[in-house]
Amino acid sequence: MKNRENYRKERIDRCIKARSDDIYALSSYKEMWYLIFPRVVPIIGIAILAYFLPLYWKKVVITTCIFAMLAVSWDFLSSCGLLSLGQALFFGIGSYTAGCLNHYFHFPIYLTIPIATICGGFISTILLLPVIRLRGIYFAMVTLILPLMLARGIEATHVFGGNEGITGLSPFPNVWVELTFIIAGMWAALFALRRFISSDYGLIFVSIRDNDRATMASGINIYAFKAQALFIGSSICAFCGAFMTHLYMFTGIPVFTMEFSILPIAASAIGGIGTLAGPLLGAFILVPLSEILREFGSLRVVFYGLVLVVCVVALPEGIFHYLSRKYNEMERWVRLE
Amino acid sequence: MFVYGLINSAVLALMALGFNLTFGISGIANFAYGAIYVVAGFITWAFINHLNLPYAVSAILTIIIIGIFGALVYKFIIKRIRGLVISEVIATFGISIILLELLRFIGLIGFKYSLPVFIDGSVEILGVYVDIQRLFIIGLGILVIISLYVFTHHTKTGLAFRGIAQEEHTSLSLGINPDRIASLSMGMGSALGAFAAIVILPLGTITVDSGYDVLINALSVCIVGGLGSTFGVIIASFIIGYTQTITAMYLAPHWTMIVSLFAILVILVIKPSGLLGHQKELEERV
């Protein structure tokens, strides 16, 4: 780059962006395509990839989708001002709920997953209700501690199978059902949350993150809204937990491991916090990459850590923000006046 | 039981002081603290066994190296994201993962990785035989607390430390460079962690997993006592230390971690700033 001392970079929305924001979007195929392209291509791309890959990589896609959903839910919680370091808590509660329902009450799979989704979200919300007043790092510490404590509690009291966990749960009929189910769930969660957060109702959640006291001053009961956000976010995680339980036909202490808390955060940090689609992108980069790196053993985790630190320090906005800027805006150098 | 409770409390206090110093001064929750503790143990071990340095020299060298490392981490990583709580936590946690899992990858597992005790032998106190090393822990714990108190109340740098802890912008206008002081506090916090490692680790072997346990213990003591309050740390380490010892005696050893986690939870729910915390009430909850 040549000397740009007397210049500044100017960014303007592309003409087509300005047009397609409006009713004119419907007037030409070009604008319609401009809007549809970034949404349809990933959907079709992932579907094609998932259905035509060999079996091993199909499983990888399933895991990726689970982590992507966890990441999306993390991002949703963080855009409501609830910084969570323990997605494993929600995940584990969902997983144990589904596992227990299936094992002790012999509920079929199409009942356990919906029940675990709702109940898991409910239990998590009740658990965290006493600390909903906490902010930032203090809330984060509680969510970091709770899954550790639950895991140690199960270890010590030997409830729900203790150390061995519950095995022999009912599986899905076949891999195609698994794939379709989780991919559909992932896209549903993403688009529903994106729409939700940009609605007038969702605006309140964002305003709680931006300035909670000002939101209170506007006469809004922020605790009720935080509880709702918690319920939505944890339900999604609980769904993932229930799905994973039936996928591996197993639930146990491993569902509370750090990986389920860290990977979503890593994915969000890479993809771009606050966009919901960014964390999904991040998960689709991180999980397959870590699968490739599997032969390196625990060096894989080192790699996560490295990616986290580098991304947080060097690329704070994330990949998705960068891509969307390139797609929607044009840049040019302007001479300083 | 009385003696072992006392020792356990001193161990906890030593572990927590470094974390507490960094958080109390600069507001950075150093999640890499447990990793630093373990790394310090391994560095000392390497100095003694590979370079054949005498124990005292290698211990001092380790403390200095870790201190510099902490300051460098602040200068190159934390400084750029200072004030963004999410990013700070992610970055320090990332560093912690890198250090610990790298050590695990290199394969430092086994009984040969342990530090020698200062003086071998044991004495009888109140009818219990106690290793001299454990007495050292108590003595050095008291020494560190006293010297920290003198440092923060009677030296210029120490006063600057307390200055930026209270009001960063005002201290800036009084000619204190917050970045320099914060990096110093991070360095000193890490050095204290290394010191704790060198004093405590001779009691057992150095394991990678103990890094996470140390972090949880330090966190629980700091939260219960009040983040940023040295006196609170002492009281909290006594409370948690004795509770852990009593639980280990009358229930079972694997309940001890649950006790400290439960202590954190209760304190966070009732009074997030801890028993003696002076943090600003509005910053922690609404």
Residue B108 DSSP class: -
Number of domains in chain A: 2
A18 in a structural domain: yes
Interface with chain B: mutation pick from A77, A87, A145, highest number of B CBs within 10 Å: A145
Q: Report yes or no: B148 at the A interface, CB cutoff 8 Å.
A: no
A241 in a structural domain: yes
Q: Report yes or no: B257 at the A interface, CB cutoff 8 Å.
A: yes
Inspect the interface and report whether the beta carbons of B95 and A309 lie closer than 8 Å: yes
Inspect the interface and report whether the beta carbons of A302 and B264 lie closer than 8 Å: no
| B87 interaction partners in chain A (CB closer than 8 Å) | 312, 316
| Domain range for A26 | 11-52
Give the pTM: 0.81
Interface with chain B: mutation pick from A144, A150, A226, highest number of B CBs within 10 Å: A144
**Which residue of chain B has the CA closest to A142?**
B265
A275 in a structural domain: no
B263 in a structural domain: no
**Residues A35 and A175 occupy one common structural domain:** no
**Residues A137 and A214 occupy one common structural domain:** yes
Phi, psi of B26 (to 5 degrees): -105, -5
**Residues A17 and A94 occupy one common structural domain:** no
- Using the structure block, give the residue that is written with the tokens 């012999």: A106
**Cα separations (Å) of B41 from A184, B63, B104, B199?**
49, 10, 14, 10
A190 in a structural domain: yes
**Residues A48 and A160 occupy one common structural domain:** no
B255 in a structural domain: no
**Residues A201 and A227 occupy one common structural domain:** yes
**Residues A103 and A39 occupy one common structural domain:** no
ipTM: 0.71
B158 in a structural domain: yes
Cβ–Cβ < 8 Å for B92, B78: yes
| Domain range for B119 | 2-209
Q: pLDDT grade, residue A236 (50/70/90)? A: very high
Of the three residues A223, A245, A262, the one that is the final residue of a domain is A262
Report the distance separating Cα A184 and Cα A168, nearest Å.
26
Instruction: For residue range A272-311, list pLDDT tens digits in order.
Output: 888 888 899 989 988 888 888 777 767 777 877 887 788 8
**Residues A71 and A44 occupy one common structural domain:** no
Report the distance separating Cα A180 and Cα A54, nearest Å.
16
| A155 interaction partners in chain B (CB closer than 8 Å) | 254
Percent of chain A exceeding pLDDT 90 equals: 16
Of the three residues A227, A262, A297, the one that is the final residue of a domain is A262
**Residues A248 and A99 occupy one common structural domain:** yes
Inspect the interface and report whether the beta carbons of B94 and A309 lie closer than 8 Å: yes
B198 in a structural domain: yes
**Residues A127 and A254 occupy one common structural domain:** yes
A325 in a structural domain: no
The DSSP result for A101-158, as a single string, is HHHHS---HHHHHHHHHHHHHHHHHHHHGGGTTB-HHHHHHHHHHHHHHHHHHHHHH-
Enumerate chain A positions whose Cβ falls within 8 A of a Cβ in B: 78, 83, 85, 130-131, 133-138, 140-142, 145-146, 148-149, 152-153, 155-156, 212-213, 216, 222, 262, 265, 269, 273, 296-299, 301-302, 304-309, 312-313, 316
The minimal CB distance from B91 to the residues A133, A302, A312 is found for A312
Number of domains in chain B: 1
Any residues with CB less than 8 A from the CB of A74 and at least 6 apart, and which?
A84, A87, A233, A264, A265, A268, A279
B116 in a structural domain: yes
The minimal CB distance from A152 to the residues B89, B94, B257 is found for B257
The pLDDT tens digits along chain B (286 residues) read 677 778 888 888 888 888 888 887 777 778 888 888 888 888 888 888 777 778 788 888 888 998 898 888 888 888 888 777 777 877 888 888 888 888 877 766 655 666 666 666 666 666 666 677 777 788 888 888 888 888 888 888 888 887 887 777 888 888 888 888 888 888 888 988 888 888 888 777 777 777 777 887 888 788 787 766 777 788 888 888 888 888 877 777 777 777 777 777 787 777 766 666 655 554 555 4
Report the distance separating Cα B207 and Cα B212, nearest Å.
10
Cβ–Cβ < 8 Å for B254, B267: no
Q: Report yes or no: B57 at the A interface, CB cutoff 8 Å.
A: no
**Residues A149 and A38 occupy one common structural domain:** no
Of the three residues A234, A262, A290, the one that is the final residue of a domain is A262
